[in-house]
Structure 1
Amino acid sequence: MKVRRLTACLLAASALTAPAFAEDVTLSIESWRNDDLPIWQEKIIPAFEAAHPGIKLTFNPSAPAEYNAVLNSKLDGGSAGDLITCRPFDASLQLFQKGQLADLSELKGMANFSDVAKSGWSTDDGKQTFCVPMASVIHGFIYNKQAFEELGLTPPKTVDEFFAVLDKVKESGKYIPMAMGTSDQWEAATMGYQNIGPNYWHGEDGRKALIAGKAKLTDPEFVAPLEQLAKWKPYLGDGFEAQTYPDSQNLFTLGRAAIYPAGSWEIGPFTPQIGGAFEMGAFPPPVPKEGDKCYISDHTDIGIGLNAASKHAEQAKVFLDWVASPEFAELYANALPGFFPLSNGEVKLENPLAQDFIGWRKNCESTIRSSYQILSRGTPNLENDMWAVSAGVINGTITPADGAKKLQDGLDSWYKPAN
């Protein structure tokens, strides 16, 4: 279904049940997603306003790097908008704890989301939720279908098959097996460790065990993904240690690499950059051995909440319930390929690569990045340590065991589990 047709259907259905208000109210939305301004102005806002007479919306984004500071200043000064786009975890949790974001636990639409989906915007005990989940990003591997067909390859399902594919690509000499560098470090952790790791630590079970202090980063299931990363080095091409994130993107989109360890946010920019040069496919992180259950990093990325000081809370909650609906989920996901709805409803995506990614939810369990909730609040910061350790392991400057010990020692220096 095309977005235009979907919007028309949405308007027709929703207009019948939309509440009427005595006078028009304009709700202002704060956000860091300034690239999304045309999508809001041309698709999302018209769809909502036509179906909800009496409520108008304005989308007022700030530059991403400045958003937290600008938003905090506005909230403290009483000039913030009615609706607050929420980054996941601590930044938004602190706003809730200060009384600046309203408790949305009882919002009707919250029933459409799992605990994992709500985890980025819930209190540590999970009892209160303060932002409606809007979208996640999913990790996996994007591959060049033309290269695979040329070399007679099929997407790997197990780790052994994965390395067999990499070996065949390397032997051919036609393509770099994988486009990823370690210069910027974060890719090694985000598209490396956090991508393949959930299959070893069993997703939410392992992540929650770390938070509870029942597991350590030196345990075998957390060392194993570092051991796999240590084997990636021969497949990343010459000079990968100096290769930046944009360099890796260019290598893949120009058709010089067969595989790209990816976040789904690449779908939007990669599609026009590649054009018709080749077709992209995607496969989830291969499981350690045949028959193992698969897990994917389905990471909470963006939500939206209610400014506790808003004078139009009733109307804002109407909008938030709409954001929680399947109609919004499909509209948003098709407008921004690679940013996936977190609601439980079925969503049909027009972009075939995006549909591949979201299809993994049917067979794999979703989890979020292991370092993002609670465990990166102190110093040293666990997330930043993971960047350095993951890059070092790939470069061969630190062993997986020593890297794991560095991570756990850093965490132990400040984190004391509550349980």
Structure 2
Amino acid sequence: MRMTKCSILAATITSLAAGVAHADVTLSILIDTNPETIASFDVVSKAYTEKHPDVSFDVEQRAGGSEGDNIIKTRLATGEMADIFQYNGGSLFQALKPQETLADLSDLPSQAGILDSFKKVVTSPDGHVRGTPFGPAMGGGIFYNRKIYAELGLTPPKTWAEFMANNEKIKAAGKVAVAQTYGTTWTSQLFVLADYYNVQAEVPNFAADYTANKLKYANTPAATRGFEHLEEVAKAGLLNPDFGAATFDDGMRMVATGEAAHYPNLTFGIGNVQQNFPDNLKDLGFFAQPGTDAAKNGLTVWMPSALYVSAKSEHVEEAKKFLDWIGTKEACDLMAKAVSSGPYLVKGCELPKDIPPVVADMLPYFETEGRAAPALEFLSPVKGPALEQITVEVGTGIRSAKDAAALYDQDVEKQAKQLGLPNW
């Protein structure tokens, strides 16, 4: 995907500085193409420019998935990174060699109001915080269409067996049970990654033992199960006919409008529906990916993305001032009004009361002790770069779940060795 200037956003921001002959500082910004990201940055950049007319923003967008990962790593390595960029925390953050490539944000006053659970996933090996939260926390699970569920008398499942039983009823009614969108390859990973709550429920020490190379996906039945779910859904004939070419946008459209009953994804997809199909937002529901035990039903959680300052920026101090403000309750409240798809990790920052039903579906997992757990990538620095290609192969019938788990174990070994982790 070609990176394009977000000209509309840049023009909007520039217009706010009317009357200023020349801004003292223009901060270059690199963000992804997610509508929630764009909406959030739009609102905070406008507010900041109103407060600081001498600061303007030059915004650029990048692709997601492995293509986006490569863009970030390449631009950091070549010294061509924007002053500020948005990216993941956890294992993907650790792969950036953050103590060398990112500015230290530990001394920003706003850090005192950011939850420790977030700071842990943007702290470099030298103990310094390098990122500021940007956007809401997300759940990984399964969107469903409320109208289809009501029409067929279905209830959200709490076990995988119940989920597959619902799928068979939906298929029998002549409807697409599960949307898959391998044209956007990163979406193929959800049945594996969103199953981590269920993995740790069965194997509480999995993250630590996996990081220490004591356990692997292929030799841990609870971990292999996510690959098996992907294979099972494909073999059951539940998918949309164009699953190989369909994109993330297609998947959110299908589940929101009733073209499909289910779509496994991250809850940031709510923003896609808010923007593109607002009249269907009330028809969108969400539940955590079910496991084997209804009594242990819970949600795998993704931390918000972060904003980082490139260590090679020519405007490090001005960029840090902006990120310090982003970490405040004031800025967080603005983002929460613009994007209300999940909880924010700044103290005192709350969602508006008129949240859509799909968000209300998700919040009890966060609010009930023991019903949410971070995704593996926030508990372990080990994540192989080829997972999305491997899961596409399973989802299209090219590779078995068993072979995929073993291949992924080989993939993560390369990453672990690059990070210099012991026992690898």
Give 1:276 deviation, angstroms: 3.0
Which amino acid in structure 2 is aligned with residue 333 of structure 1?
A
Q: Larger deviation: 386-395 or 85-94?
A: 85-94
The structural deviation recorded for 1:298 is 1.4
Map 1:161-176 to 2 at 5 A. Answer: 161-173=162-174, 175-176=175-176
Q: Does 1:362 align with 2:367?
A: yes
Kindly provide the CA deviation profile for residues 67-98 of structure 1, in whole angstroms up to 9, marking residues without a partner as x. Answer: 6489548x948x964x4545545568647433
Who is 2:228 aligned against?
Answer: 227
Whether the 8 Å CA contact 1:176–1:235 is kept in 2: the answer is: no
Q: Distance in 2 between matches of 1:146 and 1:63?
A: 35
> How far is the alpha carbon of 1:33 from its aligned partner?
4.3
1:100-149 per-residue CA deviation (whole Å, 9 max, x = no partner) reads 53212233332444454235432246x22111122344322111111111
What CA distance in whole angstroms lies between the structure 1 residues aligned with 2:38 and 2:243? 36
Q: Aligned partners of 2:86 and 2:334: how far apart in 1?
A: 17
Give the letter for the 2:61 counterpart.
A
Compute the RMSD of aligned alpha carbons: 3.7
Distance between the aligned counterparts of 2:184 and 2:61, measured in 1? 22
Residue 325 of structure 2 contacts residue 331 of structure 2 at CA under 8 Å; is this kept in 1? Answer: yes
TM-score by length of 2: 0.74
2:295 pairs, out of 275, 291, 294, with: 291
Counterpart secondary structure, 2:276: helix
**Residue equivalent to 2:10:** none
Q: 1:241 Cα deviation (Å)?
A: 5.2
Which residue of 267, 271, 275 maps to 1:264? Answer: 267
Superposed, which structure 2 residues align to 1:264-343 within 5 Å?
264-276=267-279, 279-292=283-296, 294-305=298-309, 307=311, 313=317, 316-338=319-341, 341-343=344-346
Query: Which residue does the alignment assign to 1:236?
Result: 238
Unaligned runs of 5+ in 1: 1-23, 377-381
In structure 1, the partner of 2:382 is 375
For normalisation by structure 1, the TM-score amounts to 0.75
Gaps of 5+ in 2: 1-22
* Residue 207 (structure 1) shift: 3.2
Q: Deviation of residue 204 (structure 1)?
A: 8.7
Cα distance in 2 for partners of 1:180, 1:80 equals 34
Contact 1:85–1:305 (CA<8 Å) still a contact in 2?
Answer: no
Aligned partner of residue 194 in structure 2, secondary structure = helix
In 1, Cα distance between equivalents of 2:360 and 2:55: 30
Partner of 1:12: none
The number of residues matched between the two structures is: 379
Q: 1:222: Cα distance to partner?
A: 1.0
Q: How does 1:185-196 map to 2 (within 5 A)?
A: 185-189=185-189, 191-196=190-195
SS at match of 2:412: helix
Cα deviation code 1:350-374 (max 9, x no counterpart): 4413343344322332313549964
Aligned residues of 1:204 and 1:367 also touching (Cα < 8 A): no
- SS where residue 141 of structure 1 aligns? strand
Shift of 1:289: 0.6
Question: What percent identity do the matched residue pairs reach?
Answer: 20
Report the residue type matching 2:306 in the other structure: I
Q: Hey, what does 2:59 align to over in structure 1?
A: 61
